[in-house]
Each structure stands twice: as C-alpha cells, then as structure tokens.
A = this chain, B = another copy of it.
Amino acid sequence: MHEQLTKFITDRIQLSEADLQQVLSCFHLLIAKKNEIIGRTGELSRRMFFVNKGCLRVYYIKPDGREATRRFAFENSFSTSLTSFIDGTLLKEDTQTVESSELLYIHREDFYSLLNTIPSWEKFYRGFLEQAYIINTSRLEDFITLNPRERYQLLLKENPEMVLRLPNKLIANYLNITQEALSRIKSGS
C-alpha cells in the first residue's frame, strides 16, 4: 500500500529505515469514490494527500457559484491547499476526486512535527515547496502571457495525457474558458 509513496520519498531524500517507517506510519489510507469532496472551502486545512491511484481536482468557488480549477493531481503526486496548509488559515478552495481514487493522507500536525524530528524531512519539504512554486508560477505565466487557444495548445504539447484523460468540461475550466470555446478551439475554427 505504501510502495509508491516510499519510492516518491526515497527518490528525493535519504532516510534511515527507522525514519522511513516513522514517516510512513503518519500516512493513512483513504478510498474515495468519484466526485467526492475531500476538502471544502471554509474548513480548516487538515490533510495533505498523496495520490496512489485516481485524480484530484482543486478549485476555487467564485461568488456566483462557478468554479475555477487551480490544479489537477494524478498518480504519484502530492496535493493540498498549500496556502492554508502553511499558515493554518481556512481553506479557500475545494478538493474533489475526479475519478475513484486511492489516497494516502497525512495530518498537518504530523507533517510539521516530522520537520522537527526527522532532519531530512526539512529537505523533503523544501523540495516540495520548490516544485509547488515552480508549477504555480508557470501556470501564472501562462495566464498572463497566453490567450485561450495558446494555453490549450501548450497544454496539449506538455501534458497530452491530461487532455485525453479528463472530460473537456474540466479541461476548459482548467484553461479558464467555457467548454463551448474549447470545443471550437479543438475543431480549429
């Protein structure tokens, strides 16, 4: 059950077997059906998820009720509403399973206490933060430098699996356009 997570961690930092076991013991299994909401706007940020199988979608809910997708997380990636996770503020976004999923989660308190007990966990967290920063900044760049068509073409080039795997509706939302607009872009009109 912890193989993928073990590989993810040991690919990034060096840990004694005991430390590794301590880290793994903090993670709990969560099996979730498709379209379950596992983190809700306004709640406290309590968990960070590792995706063993399936897919998560993290999205803001606008005042008019519409959604804006910040990110998808597929197999072998971590996902959390980091902004709230960091400073303990209330969640500003929902996290939902887009497919039936098998997740491992760690509680916020456990995550941060590992920073104090396992020195190399600080390095792990550093790498995690760096990656999260790079991903979000690249996404910010896309929005301020590209138009919808260009954003779609870039996504198709850099992440074709995502486009194939997810329904148009969600891809369109991720690109911050309507599904009608995406449909027309795809048909090349």
Contact = CB atoms under 8 A, between A and B. Distances in A.
B126 A83 contact: no
Interface stretch (A33-41, A98-106, A131-139, A153-161): A131-139
Interface size class on chain A is 20 to 34
Copies of this chain in the oligomer: 2
B82 A141 contact: no
15 contacts: A60-B141, A62-B145, A82-B133, A83-B133, A83-B134, A83-B137, A83-B138, A86-B133, A86-B134, A92-B141, A122-B122, A139-B140, A140-B140, A143-B143, A143-B144
B136 A137 contact: yes
Interface string A92-123: 10000000000000000000000000000011
Contacts of A140: 70, 136, 139-140, 143
> What secondary structure prevails in chain A residues at the interface with B?
helix
